[in-house]
């Protein structure tokens, strides 16, 4: 099994942590970095030493992926129904139901290594009440991140090995470069459910505003004929979008977790073999789906979950002929989480909050989203003009009510590091517009135009 340099570096670092006495280690590596390859290599090396290994997954797709990779390497993995042999692949749901069975208790006590795929998920936490020393545990995940009521990962793992970032893999040619387009949507009326946007609420909003027509229009302009994967908020919204694609003569289908295995497999095979196919999915293709021919990803949904956001976008990151892919974001996800390729500092401790998303701007020529500090568009070469900073000085003596309000807003913006334009968006009365225009030395008539235009 040929490992890339960064994969060997990660494996060596995990071995070092085990040597230090850290028996449970998070292996953090981005989607597309080859986590399955890495833990399969570690399993094969352990088997050569006569060790017993268990690999745990929570999805059928990941279960099959692990089984196939191990089989290709000649390791002959077995399932929970046959506890003989050196290496097994279980679904965590099945194992949880059998924890109290004597044969499972005895099996777990004899294990040397447990490898958990998608270890950030809370469903695996139950394992730690049944795993015993000196069994070592590796938790593989691209996103070791938890929030809210979820128990912190540091309660289960001793340390984290985080050696490579998305940008590292793009620069080394192991992941495709992402060109990002964003379309701002007003989500203020969408209800929250368990810490994320209500799926039905999103679907209702998108249907009411007929956002699906905007998706088609932008698809035609930005990624027409690209093999495209879409993430929808629910089945109905996905179906509505697919119908709209078909009306435009574009080959499109829908897939979800409620389909039969046969129908799902047939749909995914069609997507794989059809040039320019568009596949809209709900609740299924975020993990364990590696289709290298995807050229565009459309987020026809919003999420507060950084983990889900990175998983969705990562579906387009596999290396392909052009070595690039496009992201069309219809849910303010870039504004919420930052760019997919941004460097992120991961921690096992939940209280260490992630940094806020860096400010972004849109290229006026090609409409790609870029960091606010960019002086040149990396997609079309457009040069941004330098904008002189506006003076924020103001005479605070003898203020009228409107002057007083503007002064407060300017001071507030400066204290909190808001952009200058933030103040403009807070103005309400015509007098406030006039006062703001006077401070900024805008031309006569600016206040009247702005006030009535915004009204």
Q: What's the Rg (C-alpha) of the chain?
A: 26
CA distances for 273 relative to 267, 293, 312, 314, angstroms: 10, 9, 21, 21
> Which pLDDT does position 353 carry in this prediction?
46
Residue 365 maps to a domain: no
Q: Are 384 and 375 in contact (CB under 8 A)?
A: yes
Q: Mean of the pLDDT values across residues 394-413?
A: 60
What residues have CB less than 8 Å from 2, skipping those under 6 apart?
A: none
Number of domains present in the structure of the chain? 3
Same domain, 180 and 158: no
> Which pLDDT does position 163 carry in this prediction?
93
Q: Mean of the pLDDT values across residues 303-327?
A: 90
- Picking from 356, 391, 410, the residue at the C-terminal end of a domain is 356
- Picking from 164, 183, 218, the residue at the C-terminal end of a domain is 164
Closest Cα partner for 46 from 135, 106, 117?
135
Judged against a pLDDT cut of 90, whether residue 390 lies above it is answered with no
Same domain, 306 and 220: yes
> Which pLDDT does position 62 carry in this prediction?
84
- Tell me how far apart the 2 most distant CA atoms of the chain are, in Å: 87
- Picking from 131, 164, 197, the residue at the C-terminal end of a domain is 164
Residue 225 maps to a domain: yes
Same domain, 156 and 199: no
Same domain, 206 and 314: yes
> Which pLDDT does position 404 carry in this prediction?
62
Most confident of 61-70, 155-164, 410-419, 429-438: 155-164
> Alpha-carbon distance 186 to 167, whole Å?
30
Query: Is the four-CA dihedral 186, 189, 192, 195 of positive or negative sign?
Result: positive
Instruction: For 118-172, write each residue's pLDDT tens digit.
Output: 999 999 999 999 998 899 999 999 999 888 788 999 999 999 999 999 999 999 9
Residue 186 maps to a domain: yes
Residue 187 maps to a domain: yes
3-state secondary structure of 425: helix
Residue scoring higher pLDDT (440 or 225): 225
Listed range (126-140, 213-227, 383-397) with the worst mean pLDDT: 383-397
Residue 375 maps to a domain: no
Judged against a pLDDT cut of 60, whether residue 425 lies above it is answered with yes
Listed range (19-28, 168-177, 390-399, 409-418) with the worst mean pLDDT: 390-399
> Alpha-carbon distance 247 to 42, whole Å?
50
CA distances for 286 relative to 44, 281, 409, angstroms: 27, 9, 43
Judged against a pLDDT cut of 90, whether residue 64 lies above it is answered with no
Instruction: For 349-373, write each residue's pLDDT tens digit.
Output: 875 444 455 566 767 766 667 777 7
Q: Edge-to-edge strands of the sheet including 177-182?
A: 177-182, 324-329, 296-299, 228-231, 278-282, 252-256
Residue scoring higher pLDDT (257 or 124): 124
> Which pLDDT does position 420 carry in this prediction?
65
Residue scoring higher pLDDT (349 or 115): 115
> Which pLDDT does position 132 carry in this prediction?
87
> Alpha-carbon distance 108 to 135, whole Å?
9
Please state whether 259 falls in left (phi above 0), alpha (psi between -120 and 50) or beta: beta
Same domain, 28 and 124: yes
- Which structural domain range is residue 274 located in? 170-356
What pTM did the predictor assign?
Answer: 0.75
* Arithmetic mean of pLDDT over the chain: 86
Q: Edge-to-edge strands of the sheet including 24-28?
A: 87-91, 53-57, 113-117, 136-141, 24-28, 159-162
- Please report, for the domain that includes residue 260, its CATH number: 3.40.50.300
Same domain, 65 and 188: no
> Which pLDDT does position 231 carry in this prediction?
96
Q: Mean of the pLDDT values across residues 165-181?
A: 93
Same domain, 119 and 144: yes
Judged against a pLDDT cut of 80, whether residue 45 lies above it is answered with yes
Same domain, 18 and 69: yes
Residue 393 maps to a domain: no
Model confidence at 455, pLDDT cuts 50, 70, 90, reads low
Q: Report the percentage of the chain scoring pLDDT > 90.
A: 58
Same domain, 121 and 202: no
Same domain, 90 and 186: no
Residue 257, both tokens: 């977790």
E strands present in 69-208 = 87-91, 113-117, 136-141, 159-162, 177-182, 192-193, 196-197
Same domain, 302 and 410: no
Closest Cα partner for 279 from 251, 257, 260?
251
Residue 390 maps to a domain: no
């Amino acid at each position: 099994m040929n490992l890339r340099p960064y994969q060997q570096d990660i494996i060596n670092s995990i071995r070092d942590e085990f040597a230090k006495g850290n028996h449970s280690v998070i292996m953090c590596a981005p989607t597309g970095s080859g986590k399955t390859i890495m833990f399969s290599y570690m399993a094969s090396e352990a088997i050569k030493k006569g060790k017993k290994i268990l690999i745990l997954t929570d999805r059928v797709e990941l279960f099959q992926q692990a089984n196939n990779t191990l089989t290709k390497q000649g390791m002959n993995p077995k399932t929970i129904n046959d506890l003989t042999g050196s290496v097994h692949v279980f679904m965590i749901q099945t194992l949880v139901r059998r924890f109290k069975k004597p044969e499972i208790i005895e099996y777990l006590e004899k294990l040397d290594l447990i490898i958990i795929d998608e270890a950030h998920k809370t469903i695996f936490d139950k394992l730690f009440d049944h795993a015993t020393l000196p069994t070592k545990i590796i938790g593989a995940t691209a996103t070791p991140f938890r929030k809210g009521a979820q128990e912190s990962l540091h309660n289960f793992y001793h340390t984290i090995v985080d050696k490579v970032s998305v940008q590292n893999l793009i620069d080394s040619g192991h992941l495709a470069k992402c060109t990002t387009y964003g379309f701002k949507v007003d989500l203020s009326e969408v209800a929250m459910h368990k810490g994320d946007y209500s799926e039905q609420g999103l679907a209702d909003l998108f249907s009411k505003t007929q956002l699906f027509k905007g998706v088609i229009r932008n698809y035609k302009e930005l990624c027409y004929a690209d093999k495209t994967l879409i993430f929808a908020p629910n089945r109905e919204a996905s179906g509505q979008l697919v119908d709209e694609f078909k009306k435009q003569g574009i080959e499109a289908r829908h897939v979800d977790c409620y389909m039969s295995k046969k129908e799902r497999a047939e749909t995914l095979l069609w997507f794989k073999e059809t040039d320019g196919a568009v596949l809209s999915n709900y609740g299924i293709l975020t993990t364990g789906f590696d289709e290298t021919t995807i050229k565009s990803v459309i987020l026809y949904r919003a999420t507060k979950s950084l983990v889900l956001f990175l998983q969705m976008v990562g579906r387009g990151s596999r290396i392909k002929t052009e070595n690039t892919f496009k992201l069309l974001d219809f849910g303010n996800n870039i504004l919420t989480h930052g760019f997919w390729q941004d460097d992120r500092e991961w921690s096992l401790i939940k209280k260490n909050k992630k940094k806020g998303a860096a400010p972004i701007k849109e290229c006026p020529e090609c409409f790609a989203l870029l960091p606010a500090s960019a002086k040149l568009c990396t997609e079309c070469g457009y040069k941004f003009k330098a904008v002189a900073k506006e003076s924020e000085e103001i005479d605070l003596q003898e203020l009228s009510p409107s002057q007083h309000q503007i002064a407060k807003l300017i001071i507030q913006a400066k204290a909190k590091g808001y952009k200058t334009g933030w103040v403009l968006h807070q103005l309400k009365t015509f007098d406030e517009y006039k006062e703001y225009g006077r401070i900024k030395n805008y031309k006569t008539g600016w206040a009247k135009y702005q006030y009535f235009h915004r009204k």
